[in-house]
Amino acid sequence: MKRPVLVKLGGSVITFKDRPLAANIEAIDRISSVLAGVSPLVVVHGGGSFGHYWSVKYDMHTKPAAYDPHGVSVVHESMVALNQVIVNSMIKAGSNPYALAPPVFTSGHRPLPSKIKEIGAMAQAGMTPVTYGDVVHMGGKKYSILSGDALMSMLARALRPSKVIFATNVDGIYRDMKAKELVSEMRPDGKVEFSDVLADVTGGMQRKVREAFKIASLGMDVMMVNGLVPERIAEAAGGKTPVGTLVRGRR
Ligand code: IP8
């Protein structure tokens, strides 16, 4: 059995973060072409100017609370809409994507192990499960934003992918933000400077790095690459080390 590749497409790659509800179709299509050559594969995507735009408008966060129910609908539907763009692009590129909203395999923020196993089985059988950050029910009137980065850790823990790739709109982790000095390799306990990094509703780059460290601590290598140069995703998926930051899995 070949272990799957797990890829997160960050919102900064698949949408224009400074323009509400604007998908970066060109970037999505280019990434889809690359992903069509990767199998088995599981894809997670972020919210960018869809989910994050509405989460800010409705003041919704990762903290479980009784948020405006209308906001819950709007945020969720915006993610479904973005997911449709991605899935349709993947179909056009020749992949067999299968969209799964997080509540199919989670209860609140907790994984449903038998359901995640099915995701693995689907990937083995030639489908590409595609899930995304979303707003999820936490019980009663409470809801919470579950980020795609948190889903990455959850899926990595259960599926033990051969490669874990985070695609963002930057080349990787920088040692020094001002000098833009890229860290090509680091351990999950390495120091990272965050001062200049803007956080979004779910924590932006800081959360990504935290989740990458978590996954690396479980023994898997994590590659952070620039998704606007999709060949780097292909190289990382194919076992090469492209321009980017490799967070070495703890052995
Ligand atoms: O972009 C959050 O997912 P992320 C999705 O992976 C929403 O943090 C609904 C804001």
- Mean pLDDT by 10-residue block, N- to C-terminus, for the chain (251 residues)? 96 94 98 98 98 97 98 98 98 98 98 98 98 98 97 98 96 80 86 56 78 94 97 96 94 80
The pLDDT of residue 194 is 56
Pocket test for ligand 1, best of 9, 13, 55, 201 (most atoms within 8 A of CB): 201
Largest Cα–Cα separation, the chain: 49
Q: Which residue, by CA, sits nearest to atom 4 of ligand 1? A: 46
Judged by DSSP in three states, 214 sits in helix
Pocket test for ligand 1, best of 132, 136, 137, 208 (most atoms within 8 A of CB): 132
- Contacts (Cβ under 8 Å, ≥6 apart) of 249: 188, 215, 216, 217, 218, 219, 220, 221, 222
Contact 136, 150 (CB under 8 A): no
The pLDDT of residue 193 is 59
Lining ligand 1 with CB less than 6 A are: 11, 46-47, 51-52, 55, 75, 79, 133-135, 145, 147-149, 201-202
Q: Which atom of ligand 1 is nearest to the CA of 8?
A: 6
Phi, psi of 83 (to 5 degrees): -60, -40
Q: Which atom of ligand 1 is nearest to the CA of 207?
A: 8
Pocket test for ligand 1, best of 79, 152, 197, 207 (most atoms within 8 A of CB): 79
- Cis amide linkage into residue 40, ω under 30° from 0: yes
Please tell me the CATH code under which domain 5-247 is placed: 3.40.1160.10
- Domain residue ranges in the chain: 5-247
Distances (CA, A) of 160 to 5, 102, 236: 9, 18, 16
Contact 148, 44 (CB under 8 A): yes
The pLDDT of residue 190 is 72
Distances (CA, A) of 106 to 46, 75, 146, 156, 166: 17, 18, 10, 14, 21
The structure tokens listed for 94 are 């020749």
The pLDDT of residue 48 is 96
pTM: 0.95
Rounded to whole angstroms, how far apart are CA atoms 134 and 155? 15
